[in-house]
Amino acid sequence: YGEIEVSISGDVADDHDVVVANYADFGVDVSIESVKDIKAGKFNQELKTITIEENVPGTLVKNRDITLIFPDWVKITNAKVRSGGSYATLDTFDGTDNEIDLTIIKSTSGTTTKAKIKLDLEISVEGNRSGDIEMTVEGKRAGMAEDVDLVVGNAVALVTAEADANKDVKIGVQAQEIGDITISELVKEAISDKPNGKIDGNVVLTLPEGVSFSAKPKVEVTEGNLDIKSDNVGLSKDDSVLTIPIKSDSSKASTITVSNVKLTVDRTVPTGDLILKVGGGAIIENQKANKEGWLDGRGVSGSSDTVDEGEFDTGTAVKVKIANIVTPAPGEVSGTSVFTIGSTTYTVNGVEKSMDVAPYIKGDRTYIPVRFVAQAAGVADNNIIWNEADQSVILIKGDRVVKMVIGSNQLMINGIAVSMDTVPEIVDPGRTMLPLRAVTQALGCVVDWDPETQAASVTL
């Protein structure tokens, strides 16, 4: 390819060469102004300008489409023709797709002008992705000689998580201490106090089913200037989720450290790696939980129950191993809880905890609030079920199901009735109280009573 020259010689002029034409093949060049970092998990991420240009006039065929295709972890939330709109138009987009068509509306055939089209695109990248964002341009029917693959951006993860994962935690044991957990921003403002859309600006740490925090850990910013709402850090009802509200963004990449972490692991949890999920709207705003989607550069009404415009069904940015789950050695005590009559303070493996109702004795039987009886017996909070209709409590531990009904002396173990010499009851302020020995023994525990200290010990 190149210039076509004609050599002229003779008596009437000096010998010289004249360029009479350029020889070029039909084809299209696709380029981008520059490759920029795109924040995974965030809305409002604009690519640099993309240019589609003919090599020679007449390459592109009128009324044919060129298709721009992104990976399936990318959604197009805005697209505009910056220049060259007389040659092509973009198809409509709804924020749910990873591809868009560019329709050729004017041919340059028979002219000396090459069509040059510039596009501006905005995308949303799934929150757990990183690496090259490669766009494929297909358009052979529109005159392109071949498909073109072009890297248009670099998806960057916003946070990393690290932990001392060498410690072992045992199934069926409460309040086991593990190492510190750190969540670090890879760029400033990665963690947002006011994410786009309608979702709380929280960092959320989620434990697997059957594992819970024994108490609220200590949470602090140890590097950078991110600000958290320390007084509002809290646990979910089942203690399996730690929520860290953000007060203000960082102007310097920051690190959150979670320390004094103690875990309770019930007997249903399999051995192996204990994996913590790190997410929340402060990190991933384009997740399903957001009540607004994102389209055409702005938030649009949506629902936290559906995947809306620009959203993905991904709320976890990173996973991190925080401990090894192991079984206790044969004959090893898995855990002991001690309750003292008249005291709202009790201990689990020597660690003091508190209840809102103190144990008491009635009819020579020790009564304790249902939640604490169940926990002492190794039952996870999500396996403690109250049925208002028949005033019953169901406790599930492994393959054993225990059911008790308020006012009834019949204890059901896997559907088999066992008579007790006492009954469960409800006391002010609406607390369900269960007879300690009957329940814990039904769940495979050993109960000891010390008459001098008026203390009952439950051993798993």
Instruction: Kindly tell me if the per-residue pLDDT of 79 is higher than 90.
Output: yes
- Which residues in 33-129 belong to E strands, given as ranges? 36-39, 45-46, 50-54, 65-69, 74-83, 88-90, 99-104, 116-125
**265-269: average pLDDT:** 79
In this prediction, residue 298 carries a pLDDT of 93
**Is the bond into 429 cis (omega within 30 degrees of 0)?**
yes
The CATH superfamily of 336-459 is Copper amine oxidase-like, N-terminal domain (3.30.457.10)
The topology under which CATH files domain 25-156 is: Immunoglobulin-like (2.60.40)
In this prediction, residue 23 carries a pLDDT of 46
The domain defined by 161-326 carries CATH number 2.30.230: no
φ/ψ bin of 196: left (φ > 0), alpha (ψ from -120 to 50), beta (otherwise): beta
Could you give the CA distance from residue 138 to residue 315 in angstroms, rounded to a whole number?
A: 32
Would you say 360 and 456 are in contact if contact means Cβ atoms under 8 Å apart? Answer: no
Give the position of tokens 């529109």.
Answer: 142
Instruction: Kindly tell me if the per-residue pLDDT of 332 is higher than 90.
Output: no
User: What is the pairing mode between strands 316-326 and 168-170?
Assistant: parallel
Residue ranges of the alpha helices (H) in 111-198? none
User: Hey, how many other C-beta atoms are within 10 angstroms of the C-beta on 111?
Assistant: 10
In this prediction, residue 1 carries a pLDDT of 45
Q: State pTM to two decimals.
A: 0.69
Burial class (CB in 10 A: 0-12, 13-18, 19+), 389: exposed
Would you say 90 and 81 are in contact if contact means Cβ atoms under 8 Å apart? Answer: yes
Could you give the CA distance from residue 377 to residue 214 in angstroms, rounded to a whole number?
A: 15
Say whether 50 sits in a helix, a strand or coil.
strand
In this prediction, residue 20 carries a pLDDT of 47
Could you give the CA distance from residue 397 to residue 268 in angstroms, rounded to a whole number?
A: 7
Looking at every residue in the chain, the average pLDDT score rounds to 90
| Residue 31 token pair | 């380029």
Instruction: Kindly tell me if the per-residue pLDDT of 63 is higher than 70.
Output: yes
Could you give the CA distance from residue 167 to residue 176 in angstroms, rounded to a whole number?
A: 10
CA 347 to chain CA centroid, nearest Å: 34
In this prediction, residue 6 carries a pLDDT of 54
Lowest-confidence segment of 3-12, 116-125, 184-193 by average pLDDT: 3-12
Would you say 175 and 214 are in contact if contact means Cβ atoms under 8 Å apart? Answer: yes
Instruction: Kindly tell me if the per-residue pLDDT of 172 is higher than 90.
Output: no
Lowest-confidence segment of 237-246, 274-283, 287-296, 367-376 by average pLDDT: 367-376
**218-241: average pLDDT:** 95
Triad 340, 342, 346: Cα angle to 5°: 40
**pLDDT tens, residue by residue, 385-444:** 999 999 999 999 888 899 999 999 999 999 988 888 899 999 888 889 988 888 888 887
**Cβ-count burial 185-206 (b if 16+ within 10 Å, e if not):** beeebbbbbebbbebbbbbbbb
In this prediction, residue 66 carries a pLDDT of 96
- Which residues in 349-399 belong to E strands, given as ranges? 351-354, 360-362, 365-369, 384-387, 392-397
Residues ≥6 apart with Cβ < 8 Å to 394: 384, 385, 386, 387, 401, 402, 403
User: Hey, how many other C-beta atoms are within 10 angstroms of the C-beta on 361?
Assistant: 12
Could you give the CA distance from residue 312 to residue 290 in angstroms, rounded to a whole number?
A: 10
Closest CA to 133 of 122, 118, 147: 122
User: Hey, how many other C-beta atoms are within 10 angstroms of the C-beta on 399?
Assistant: 7
Domain boundaries, the chain: 25-156, 161-326, 336-459
In this prediction, residue 25 carries a pLDDT of 60
**208-226: average pLDDT:** 94
User: Hey, how many other C-beta atoms are within 10 angstroms of the C-beta on 256?
Assistant: 25
One fold for 161-326 and 336-459: no
Assign 15 a pLDDT band (cuts: 50, 70, 90): low
| Residue 247 token pair | 């007060």
**pLDDT tens, residue by residue, 140-170:** 999 898 999 999 999 999 999 999 888 999 8
Triad 384, 388, 391: Cα angle to 5°: 85
User: What is the pairing mode between strands 148-156 and 131-138?
Assistant: antiparallel
Assign 171 a pLDDT band (cuts: 50, 70, 90): confident
Instruction: Kindly tell me if the per-residue pLDDT of 460 is higher than 50.
Output: yes
In this prediction, residue 194 carries a pLDDT of 96
Instruction: Kindly tell me if the per-residue pLDDT of 343 is higher than 80.
Output: yes
